[in-house]
Amino acid sequence: MIILGIETSCDETAAAVISTQDNSIKILSNIVSSQVALHQKWGGVVPNLAAREHLKNILPVITAALSKARTKPTSIDLIAVTNGPGLIPALLIGVNTAKTLSYLWNKPLIGVHHIEGHIYANFIGSQQESVSSNRKLNSCLLLADNFFPALCLVVSGGHTQLVFMKKHLHYKIIGQTLDDAAGEAFDKAARILGLNYPGGPAIAASASKAKNKKHKLLSKNLPRPMIGSPNFNFSFSGLKTAVLYLTKKNERLLKKESFVNEVSLEFQQAVVDVLITKTIAAAKKHNPKTIMLAGGVSANAELRRQLGEAIDKELKNISYIMPDTSYCIDNAAMIAAAAYWRWRNNKNKKFYAEAWKDLPVDANLSL
């Protein structure tokens, strides 16, 4: 089947066309119009500015996705759109556009949870790679019994969660952040360090340039909040505050690139240490067959690499998969991929045929 995906929950206007066959997903087009440059000067996303940009871009982005995929509206079988969580003014543009197209083209419509989309980025194409078992997973295996249960570490700008999936489309949150999300912490720390928005890629780039492992002012490590707590929750706001205090005490050093690079390295390692320790502990308790990564922060090369090493060292017979880096940050291919699994698992297709009438938008939609 051919699915048109639409995503406008934050600061990317995105549309994609995917084709599904025999349980494999092929990306025909994946267009993302980023508003990063617009929001950069505010150091974060301004919801109403985002909505204005989405409104300007949504139809050109959808047109480009269809034309790149050489697909006509008549060939589309299903429309998928993110209907939460996210910024209400931004979500409304995508959802209202999707509802209108669903009505006009007479196509069924599915609302997708944004995080479900991130998780299903793992199921796109052939990016699966198994570290610990040294096997290549393929999309058939993703259907098989030996893929589930799975444990997914979701790390985005708005969410940090450990999600246990006993099967497709079933989510149990076994741990989550009590304050800032991991991506939010990257963004805030970057701002303190005078780096660009979004902070994740900026801190990663700065950290990779650090010559010394640690600046002498960091004789005491930055904290690893809640790393030893007897649960799978996270907290990142104290880490950000520690960066703030450190730099306040040494403001003139912020002009020194080597200082910024070394603080970036230590900050990134602190986040990675906490994420990995909690994921391994959760896996030991819940015994998944697969560990997955999802969300914008899963593009982080150190997190990807070090989690693989920790799984190899500490766990046995666990597959480790992660989305291709091009599908980690917000995109619409992942939304279409999640919709495919919803579609094939739901017998009530009439519900989707009429969803254009009343698909709700929910800023706090739960998984």
Give the contacts of 47 (CB within 8 A, at least 6 positions apart). 87, 88, 89, 90
Cis upstream peptide for 85 (omega within 30°): yes
297 binds, among Zn ion, ligand KG4, none (CB under 5 to 8 A by kind): ligand KG4
Choose among 170, 150, 152, 169: nearest CA to 161: 152
Residues of this chain that interact with Zn ion (CB under 5 A) are 156, 330
- Contact (Cβ atoms closer than 8 angstroms) between residue 227 and residue 279: no
Of 156 and 279, CB closest to Zn ion = 156
Choose among 33, 29, 80: nearest CA to 52: 33
Q: Does the footprint of ligand KG4 cover residue 193 (CB under 6 A)?
A: no
Q: Does the footprint of ligand KG4 cover residue 7 (CB under 6 A)?
A: no
Residue 50, both tokens: 């985002």
Q: Does the footprint of ligand KG4 cover residue 187 (CB under 6 A)?
A: yes
Q: Does the footprint of ligand KG4 cover residue 117 (CB under 6 A)?
A: no
Least separation, in Å, of the C-beta of 161 and ligand KG4?
12
Choose among 330, 334, 333, 329: nearest CA to 298: 329
Q: Does the footprint of ligand KG4 cover residue 163 (CB under 6 A)?
A: no
Which position among 204, 210, 222, 336 is part of the footprint of ligand KG4 (CB under 6 A)?
204
Q: Total residues at the site for ligand KG4 (CB under 6 A)?
A: 21
Provide the H-helix boundaries in 250-323: 257-286, 301-314
Residues β-bridged to residue 111: 81
Q: Does the footprint of ligand KG4 cover residue 225 (CB under 6 A)?
A: no
Q: What is the dihedral of CA 302, 147, 172, 360, to 10 degrees?
A: 90
Q: How many CB atoms lie within 10 A of CB 121?
A: 28
85 binds, among ligand KG4, Zn ion, none (CB under 5 to 8 A by kind): none
What stretch of H or E contains 76?
Answer: none
Which position among 84, 94, 199, 308 is part of the footprint of ligand KG4 (CB under 6 A)?
199
Of 7 and 262, CB closest to ligand KG4 = 7
Span interacting with ligand KG4, options 53-61, 154-162, 223-231, 351-359, rule CB under 6 A: 154-162
Q: Does the footprint of ligand KG4 cover residue 183 (CB under 6 A)?
A: yes
Least separation, in Å, of the C-beta of 293 and Zn ion?
13
Of 156 and 269, CB closest to Zn ion = 156
Q: Does the footprint of ligand KG4 cover residue 84 (CB under 6 A)?
A: no
Q: Does the footprint of ligand KG4 cover residue 247 (CB under 6 A)?
A: no
Least separation, in Å, of the C-beta of 151 and ligand KG4?
19
Q: Which of residues 305-334 bind ligand KG4 (CB under 6 A)?
A: 329-330
Q: Does the footprint of ligand KG4 cover residue 186 (CB under 6 A)?
A: yes
Of 147 and 186, CB closest to ligand KG4 = 186
Provide the H-helix boundaries in the chain: 36-40, 47-68, 88-105, 114-120, 139-143, 182-192, 199-208, 237-249, 257-286, 301-314, 333-345, 349-353
Q: Residue 233 and residue 161: Cα distance in Å, rounded?
A: 8
Least separation, in Å, of the C-beta of 86 and ligand KG4?
8
Residues lying near ligand KG4 in the complex (CB under 6 A): 10, 118, 156-158, 183-184, 186-187, 198-201, 204, 295-297, 299-300, 329-330
